Amino acid sequence: MKTKTYKSEPVKDNPHGVDVRKLYDESSAQIMHMTLKPGESLKPHKTPVDAVFYVLEGEPTIHIDGESIPQVKDTLIESPANIPHHISNESEGTARILVIKAPRPENKSKLL
């Protein structure tokens, strides 16, 4: 059995400059843990595979293909492949999100 916590994993360098930690990275899927402090945001981007976001804490705003909706804890949001999307934290509290991509994108250097 393999176990890990997001706190035990190093912060990954990423073009968004936010706290992202790799939890799982196999050909079948990739799971990242993201923490957004108040005011932090990802840059709009596209991914070549489907992604889902699961809100663990806080109230991040999910932006997908021109639609922006604040979300709450324990919500799962689907983001289809090749659609512009990003996540922002416009709230006053910290937001933590699991980002799941399946299958894992071919370019492993793009971890988010």
Report pLDDT digits (tens) over 39-61.
999 999 999 999 999 999 999 99
- Prior bond of 38 cis (ω within 30°): no
Q: φ, ψ for residue 8 (rounded to 5)? A: -85, -10
> 6-102 has which fold?
Jelly Rolls (2.60.120)
**Four-CA torsion 22, 87, 70, 51, nearest 10 degrees:** -60
Tokens, residue 103? 């299958």
Tokens, residue 24? 């799982």
Rounded to the nearest integer, the mean pLDDT of the chain is 94
Using the predicted structure, report yes or no on whether residue 108 has a pLDDT greater than 70: no
Using the predicted structure, report yes or no on whether residue 37 has a pLDDT greater than 70: yes
Q: Which amino acid is at 22?
A: K
Residue 104 pLDDT class (50, 70, 90 cuts): very high
**Every domain of the chain and the residues it spans:** 6-102
Give per-residue pLDDT as tens, 1-36.
Answer: 999 999 999 999 999 999 999 999 999 999 999 999
